[in-house]
Amino acid sequence: MQGGAQGQNCAKTAPGPRISIYFIMRGFSSTIGSTVKFILDHIFLVGIAVLSGGALLWPVLVQRGKKASPLQVTQLINRGKATIVDIRDADAFAAGHLRDARNMPLKDLKGRTGELEKFKSRTAVVVCQKGTRAFGAAKILEQAGFTDVVVLDGGIDAWQTQGLPTTK
């Protein structure tokens, strides 16, 4: 009889997490229930996948400024309404740049914004190699008082890919 008492005693203990999950999933369809079970069983892997996906999408989701396509920049240049600021280093600039561009490497830009003072009424087009570092430079120019700042989408690489002219 003692064996029966011990069996009853064990039955009174609190159910573990798997039993409570079972009761939660019991109301779902089998597909949803198996999905929830998979997620709970592999929570760390699912967390890593979500975090890495978020890290990859973050630059796309957070727009840091206005972008202009090579066609739009060409139109601005042809109308004479743009000041081109190339933030690449001197060697990359010497290899090829947009017509009438001013070379101001990103590391020197804060100290050299005064050189662009007379161009504040024009659209400032910021150019880098691939279009990613230019957003930081655009922010610096906006803080310096430029009201219309755009980034060449895709940078000089996109410009050259479309066969547009560069000067040396």
The 10s digit of each residue's pLDDT in 9-48 is: 554 555 555 555 555 555 555 677 788 888 888 899 889 9
Cα 142 versus chain centre, distance: 20
pLDDT in tens, 48-106: 999 998 888 876 666 566 887 888 888 888 888 888 888 888 888 888 888 888 888 88
- Among 146, 144, 14, 34, which Cα is nearest to 82's? 146
Q: What is the pTM of this model?
A: 0.60
How do the domains of the chain map onto residue ranges? 2-60, 66-161
What pLDDT does 17 receive? 55
Q: What residues are annotated to the active site?
A: 128
- Among 71, 84, 78, 68, which Cα is nearest to 122's? 84
Q: Can you name the residues that pair with 3 across neighbouring β-strands?
A: none
CATH superfamily of 66-161: Rhodanese-like domain (3.40.250.10)
Q: Are 126 and 137 in contact (CB under 8 A)?
A: yes
